[in-house]
Amino acid sequence: MSKILFAASEAHPLIKTGGLADVSGSLPAALKRLRQAVRLVIPAYPQAKQRAGDLKPVGSIRLPGSTQVMTVLEGRMPGSGVIVWLLDYPPAFGREGNPYVGPDGRDWPDNAERFALFCRGVVAIAQDRAGLDWRADVVHCNDWQTGLVPALLSLETVRPATVFTIHNLSYQGIFPAETFVRLGLPHELWHYRGLEFFNHLSFIKGGLVYADRLSTVSPTYAREIQTPEFGYGLDGLLRHRAEALRGILNGIDLQEWDPAHDPHIPCHYDAEHLTAKRGNKRALQEELGLPASDQLLLGSVGRLVEQKGVDLVIACIDRLLELPLQLAVVGSGDPAFEQALQEAAERHPHKMSLRLGYDEGLAHRVEAGADAFLMPSRFEPCGLNQLYSLRYGTPPIVHAVGGLADTVVDASPEALKEKRATGFCFYYASPEVLFHSVERALALYEKPALWEQLARTGMAQVFDWRSSARQYLQLYEEAQAAARQTGAGLAHPPA
Ligand code: ADP
């Protein structure tokens, strides 16, 4: 049994902006079921404090250059019972709303300070300096907000092993060089094989350079990020560390995402009772103000940003809506994309519905009520929505990159014949190719027996956290072996 400290900037159901929160909610729970002593640590945002319920102060952390202390509040994750430590420091985290951006939609101006403080708090806990009488064997860090943790730990004489998981390489936590000085970071960390990135401070490099082991959330994305096309300037470093890098697919939380029990949907169903899915379609059409038509209902849920290929949809939306289908979009993001979609919905009120904003329940109802799910991401580290779609018998139409390529089997004639097909893949991100894939889906939708087979094959796929958690345990062991070998000081001294 290892003592694992799982550090992240969001965790469902306490606070969520995207897939990272799903992972931080589920993976520690799966590790707990494998009898590991896992603790989750996140910042004490007001919403997280409120949703965590009973919290008690159990420790405190002195911060360099501040008279105030950071308090460690202990609670239990709703559902899983995993012990969660919320790092309470109101000047940094006591703000309502989104963890990363203010009400104006821009990053909080002090994000570097906020997440550097979070990292210092995580280091203090890992090193048993928070009065918790607990020392980590492994610290599992996630995305740039936790990137300074492996860097700071690398300077300690005795330290736990560190693992850093990339959930999305395009978010790196890059700040002007002065920030490095302002944050009072140790000067040894400032070099191009350290935290410096083209004369800027890069939080994510703290993880990529100094963690004992690296992972990302699908095998294909693990390969893609080592290429200039997907590497965002870090492909060289990632190639250098290829031996330490693994791709481990995310699972889905079957307590939350199971059409047989989902409390958010009106009609429960499983692969043997697929006809009951129709009730969800009717209810969704009614909820969204779409006519009760039998045409293919295409759903889409997610952040409305370029990564998700929203611009590809917008570029062909009028042509798409001339096809015999309806389109239901739920999401929020780039104001220009929101506006373009809004205008399209106004032009085609009987064919398209748009709900701007974040609505967990509606996301479930779209997965259950739609016939097919559109996910044309330009890049996709793992993607969860296509996994939910498969589980809900709603074949996904995807751009075959990253986790989408690893989880969806294209409905080619051979794959259909061999009963392996689960969705529709396209291999080049353009509006024409996307449009053609939707046409392919429509053609198969005309053949109900084949369509049902496609949906059922998808529903039979297993993406459970248990097998992913086992792979992480293996990675923790490798990280511990590497940390023992490296000993004290820099985890990976500059070559
Ligand atoms: P990413 O993490 O890049 O945003 P993922 O597919 O990995 O994409 O995970 C997105 C998660 O966030 C899913 O659980 C999805 O249902 C949820 N989600 C995204 N946007 C919305 C929204 N507007 N309303 C409800 N849920 C959303």
Element housing 59 (H / E): strand 56-62
Give the three-state DSSP class for 355. strand
- 323 and 382 in a single domain? The answer is yes
Ligand 1 in contact with 302 (CB < 6 A)?
yes
Q: Which atom of ligand 1 is nearest to the CA of 16?
A: 12
Report, as an integer, the average pLDDT of 345-357: 97
Ligand 1 center to 331 CA (angstroms) = 8
Confidence of residue 425 (pLDDT cuts 50, 70, 90): very high
Distance CA 122, CA 238 (A): 25
Ligand 1 center to 463 CA (angstroms) = 17
Ligand 1 in contact with 332 (CB < 6 A)?
yes
Distance CA 163, CA 472 (A): 9
Distance CA 237, CA 259 (A): 42
Domains identified in the chain, total number: 2
pLDDT reading at 490 higher than 50: no
Ligand 1 center to 57 CA (angstroms) = 32
Task: State yes or no: cis peptide before 13, omega within 30 of 0.
Answer: yes
Q: Which atom of ligand 1 is nearest to the CA of 386?
A: 6
Distance CA 490, CA 495 (A): 11
Instruction: Provide the CATH number for the domain around residue 447.
Output: 3.40.50.2000
Residue 262 lies in a domain: no
Q: Containing domain of residue 377, as a range?
A: 274-459
- 293 and 160 in a single domain? The answer is no
Residue 28 lies in a domain: yes
Ligand 1 center to 368 CA (angstroms) = 15
DSSP string, 122-159: HHHHHTT-SSSS---SEEEEESGGGTHHHHHHTTSSS-
Distance CA 164, CA 167 (A): 10
Residue 265 lies in a domain: no
What pLDDT was estimated at residue 487?
61
DSSP string, 17-52: SSHHHHHHHHHHHHHHHTT-EEEEEEE--HHHHHHH
- 446 and 482 in a single domain? The answer is no
Of all protein residues, the one whose alpha carbon is nearest to atom 22 of ligand 1 is 358
| pTM attached to this predicted model | 0.94
- 199 and 344 in a single domain? The answer is no
- 56 and 116 in a single domain? The answer is yes
- 301 and 335 in a single domain? The answer is yes
Ligand 1 in contact with 361 (CB < 6 A)?
no
- 241 and 336 in a single domain? The answer is no
Residue 259 lies in a domain: no
- 303 and 411 in a single domain? The answer is yes
Ligand 1 in contact with 265 (CB < 6 A)?
no
Q: For 75-126, how does the pLDDT look when each residue is reduced to its tens digit (9 = 90+)?
A: 999 999 999 999 999 999 999 889 999 988 899 999 999 999 999 999 999 9
Q: What is the pairing mode between strands 161-166 and 37-43?
A: unpaired
Ligand 1 center to 194 CA (angstroms) = 32
- Which residue of 384, 398, 401 sits with most ligand 1 atoms within 8 Å of its CB, as the best mutation to test the pocket? 384
